[in-house]
Structure 1
């Protein structure tokens, strides 16, 4: 019997547990806010991305990429990543301090984006109440090395963290390079108040609801990252408030039927899992 393609990770992976949880959306917003603190990486986004003209489209494409590479077949994941790699090869970023030009696919920049996503998805899931042991956390970081390979981080190019301790050490090492530049504040402003049709903004709760999600993502940033946004006022208790709000949101979404809260990639992946004989599925690596 032909075994269905379970993709890069499979249903027993920690990656499936975290990426199928409602907290992932807030983790994605946290990741964007953290990524913006690297001056060169943010300069590349500012110069090459269409987020100003189509912020919703940019968010949707990023969400779809994560879903495809997590739950899609191995072929679909490679195809999606190949498109990103081809795009990155044509783009550059200029260091706002030195004027030095970097390719967008410079390993150090790709590693920054990768580590921000892994740290954000993992820490947000844990803050949301997903039961993850320290061993689970290490396993997730190790699993995500496959994601790093997809975007072009080969072993001979740069070392990718494989444990939570290595991930923490990476952020400790990179922190002296980080600050909130003008493009970072511009990105935060646009993310907090993206364009909406007038009737959506004024006749529905969409605008305040979205603003609350972004505020939640900001509140979940590590303290050192929030302090780098020096032009923003300090918000006492924002970390505790963000955690409580996140848990409330997660509980509300989990109360919805799976048919409503699960995306098409996850549903398709579950269908492929159902087609795998139990005895073969149990033997597959997570």
Structure 2
């Protein structure tokens, strides 16, 4: 079935840094980086381990998550709101007891959602800088973090807590670091996401994850690599960065079909969002919409 034509520019628009950063091939590396980092939050580790989605269906689980982030960044307002509400409903069922602290976890917990959101937007930008065009201009940098705050309105995060600059991102990491930890289940999840095992229906995601892993690890600080048990030699870091840049340049040549082909092999739902974005013309309403307005227009009415 053909996707519904997009009606507007969503939340950010054609000149936004969010569109450039999230549609770059470097977003795949940033996404792998962010889902690995999720596991430093013990409550998210418990949610992932208890549901076991990444082990039963790694391709589907990762594809749906990346498609969600890309939809919020580049799709129209209706698609973004519908994706957000579906995710919130799915997460509402994910609760349990975190075994390290003995406290109850919820996938929709605002603090855990903030960790997912910040690591996602920061990781995608970090990999864009390292393997893509390089740092944003000062003006685009400010705008990118403002867009990060806007996107957070679709999650359960408290928008007042979302960092609004790189300095605030650093302060956020410093603030949460004492609460981060690792465990046997966290190690298993992180290593699985870096180098997903092959098998029936997993060969594509296995090959892609293993090719990306050294480049992803090279962007992480040493303390995270040691805590996660996936450190690699500094020499490999130095070798993989120029190789990664060459690979990204190859994927961005021409009409973008090489990147779409890679997405189709590994994350088909994400490819559909990226392809619709790449082929979009002028929408019927060539304007941006705020999340608050989009929720009023397209959100589901609360149950009575």
Both proteins in one fold, TM over 0.5: yes
Deviation sequence 1:69-112 (CA, Å, 0-9, x none)? 22221011000000111122222243332201122211111111
**Cα distance, 1:72–1:285 mapped onto 2, change above 3 Å:** closer
Greater mean alpha carbon deviation, residues 206-215 or residues 177-186: 206-215
**What is the Cα deviation at residue 234 of structure 1?**
4.3
**What is the Cα deviation at residue 65 of structure 1?**
1.2
Deviation sequence 1:169-214 (CA, Å, 0-9, x none)? 100111112222112211133220333349x85xxx9855541212
Residues in 2 aligned to 1:134 and 1:222: alpha-carbon distance in whole angstroms: 23
Alignment of 1:64 with 2:67, yes or no, is: yes
The answer on whether the counterparts of 2:38 and 2:44 sit within 8 Å (CA) in structure 1 is yes
**Cα distance, 1:207–1:52 mapped onto 2, change above 3 Å:** closer
3-state SS of paired residue (1:189): helix
Alignment of 1:29 with 2:32, yes or no, is: yes
Residues in 2 aligned to 1:61 and 1:275: alpha-carbon distance in whole angstroms: 25
Greater mean alpha carbon deviation, residues 4-13 or residues 111-120: 4-13
3-state SS of paired residue (1:51): helix
Pairwise CA RMSD of aligned residues?
2.7
The answer on whether the counterparts of 2:26 and 2:132 sit within 8 Å (CA) in structure 1 is no
Greater mean alpha carbon deviation, residues 14-23 or residues 142-151: 142-151
Structure 1 residues not aligned, in runs of 5+: none
Alignment of 1:215 with 2:223, yes or no, is: no
Greater mean alpha carbon deviation, residues 264-273 or residues 38-47: 264-273
Q: What residue in structure 2 maps to residue 242 of structure 1? A: 240
Question: Quick one: which of 124, 129, 143 aligns to 2:147?
Answer: 143
Question: What are the residue-to-residue correspondences of 1:1-286 with 2, within 5 Å?
Answer: 4-131=7-134, 132-155=136-159, 159-191=161-193, 192-197=195-200, 210-229=209-228, 231-232=229-230, 234-262=232-260, 263-275=271-283
What TM-score results when the alignment is normalised by the length of structure 2? 0.80
Residues in 1 aligned to 2:279 and 2:218: alpha-carbon distance in whole angstroms: 36
The answer on whether the counterparts of 2:42 and 2:180 sit within 8 Å (CA) in structure 1 is yes
Structure 2 residues not aligned, in runs of 5+: 1-5, 261-270, 291-304
Residues in 2 aligned to 1:73 and 1:169: alpha-carbon distance in whole angstroms: 32
The answer on whether the counterparts of 1:220 and 1:242 sit within 8 Å (CA) in structure 2 is no
